[in-house]
Amino acid sequence: MNLILLDPSEVKGAYAYLTDTRRITHLREVHRACVGDYYTVGLQGGKMGKAQLTELHETQATFTLENLNELPPPPLPVHLVLALPRPRMLARTLEHVTALGVKNITLLHSKRVEKSYWQSPELRTEKIHHHLVLGLEQARDTQLPNVALCKGFRPFLEEQLPELLKDRRGLVAHPGMPNACPRNIDGNVLLFVGPEGGFIPWEVEKLLEAGCEGMHLGPRILRVETAVTALLSRLF
């Protein structure tokens, strides 16, 4: 926890009040917090700065906010379309990509996504929110990503893709494509990452027909969480 991310409901004037066990335990046990210590804090969706811990009890921590005038780090200019990974991989991937600065995520169904994944408790709004918050706390960022769920590949293709490609370069990461992942590019990207086992040929074909470019990350088969981090780091 490199940043204490404050929900608007936790701030009253120049004071912030935390009452959740997770962060209070973390402050006590990991940071070994003492009254008087300074921490980096940020307002969800807003600016960051320092705050002094002025009270610490079992169930509440009080901070006095200094000037919060620091901007969060810039976002990555990418909309990530991720074939829904299995639940534990999803959780970690959301944390990685949030820490890396992704602000738009669509979780998409595709042929090789197991249907049962869509029933996972990891997809509950509060669970997703939790992993996004962990990513922001890690990277010292305040801007929550938007996460959309799209349970149909064809509806996505027909109803959403044309609009998304209007002002974005579409890139599909897929093994066996002739071109390697481009490096250090400018402009907005719509990045597709397939499921374990990859997109099926029909899906790749449809994405290319719609105007996306295929590209690969080399001969190694990577886990989704490793591949997504490697792709984002190479692209931007």
Contacting residues toward a second copy, per CB under 8 A: 2, 73, 95-96, 99-101, 138-141, 183-184, 218-223, 226, 229-234
Residue with tokens 């804090």: 41
CB of 30 or CB of 163, closer to a second copy: 30
Please state the closest distance from residue 3 (CB atom) to a second copy, in A. Answer: 9
Please state the closest distance from residue 174 (CB atom) to a second copy, in A. Answer: 16
Please state the closest distance from residue 207 (CB atom) to a second copy, in A. Answer: 22
Interior angle at CA 65, CA 63 and CA 71, nearest 5: 125
Give the Cβ contact number of residue 126 at 10 Å.
Answer: 7
CB of 92 or CB of 211, closer to a second copy: 92
The CA distance from 184 to 10, in Å, is 39
Please state the closest distance from residue 127 (CB atom) to a second copy, in A. Answer: 19
Please state the closest distance from residue 34 (CB atom) to a second copy, in A. Answer: 18
Residue with tokens 């169904």: 109
Please state the closest distance from residue 172 (CB atom) to a second copy, in A. Answer: 18
For residue 160, with 0-12 CB atoms within 10 Å meaning exposed, 13-18 middle and 19 or more buried, which class applies?
Answer: middle
CB of 18 or CB of 134, closer to a second copy: 134
- Among 104, 57, 65, which residue's Cα sits nearest to residue 82? 104
CB of 200 or CB of 230, closer to a second copy: 230
The CA distance from 27 to 13, in Å, is 22
DSSP state of 1: -
- Contact at 8 Å (CB) between 194 and 112? yes
CB of 139 or CB of 157, closer to a second copy: 139
Strand-by-strand arrangement of the 38-43 sheet: 4-6, 38-43, 48-56, 61-70, 15-18, 11-12
CB of 114 or CB of 205, closer to a second copy: 114
